Amino acid sequence: MTYIMVDVEADGPIPGDYSMVCFGAIVVQPSLDRTFYGRLRPISDKWIPEALQVSGFSRKETLDFDEPAAVMQQFANWIAEVRSGQPMFISDNNGFDWQFINWYFHHFLGRNPFGHSSTNLGSLYKGVVRDTFANFKHLRKTKHTHNPVDDARGNAEALLAIKEQYDLKISLK
């Protein structure tokens, strides 16, 4: 199984009504050298300035980004290249990140290479340390910048640290 850490930036709270602006993904393995980055043209006229501001892009800039269908196909192709067995989607906030990736895959490609499951890194950490108030973010090495590749990398670093420090039984291929 290949764990792929994903981070999404969007211009609103839900897919369909709002748009995924960009996303990053990284294969969780010690080298952390297999990454994907996509920037997507808006699919909706609706957007929330404060939400978009987090990404660091202006609305005008996003209008010149790539066609979402092409980006999602490139992402699916990348997943097929890097995966060993079933790819597993994991993110810091999978309630947010998963909804956008899943919706975009189904809307534009008719399928999601991740299947129907995702994992939440924060919940995994809480279970490992047996504390529902615990936070894993101190395990990141890469600064959280809202560049989705940086953020996915930091979260992947945290998962690798959890595996090492807590002897987490996880197969990272």
Q: Which residues are known catalytic residues?
A: 146
- Strands, sheet with 20-27, edge to edge from the N-terminal-most edge strand: 35-39, 20-27, 2-10, 87-91, 118-120
The backbone torsions φ and ψ at residue 155, rounded to the nearest 5 degrees and listed phi first, read: -70, -35
Contacts 24+ apart (CB under 8 A), 124-128: 124/90, 124/159, 124/162, 125/158, 125/162, 128/162, 128/166, 128/168
Spatial separation of the C-alpha atoms in residues 156 and 28, rounded to whole Å: 6
The answer to whether the CB of 128 falls within 8 A of the CB of 166 is yes
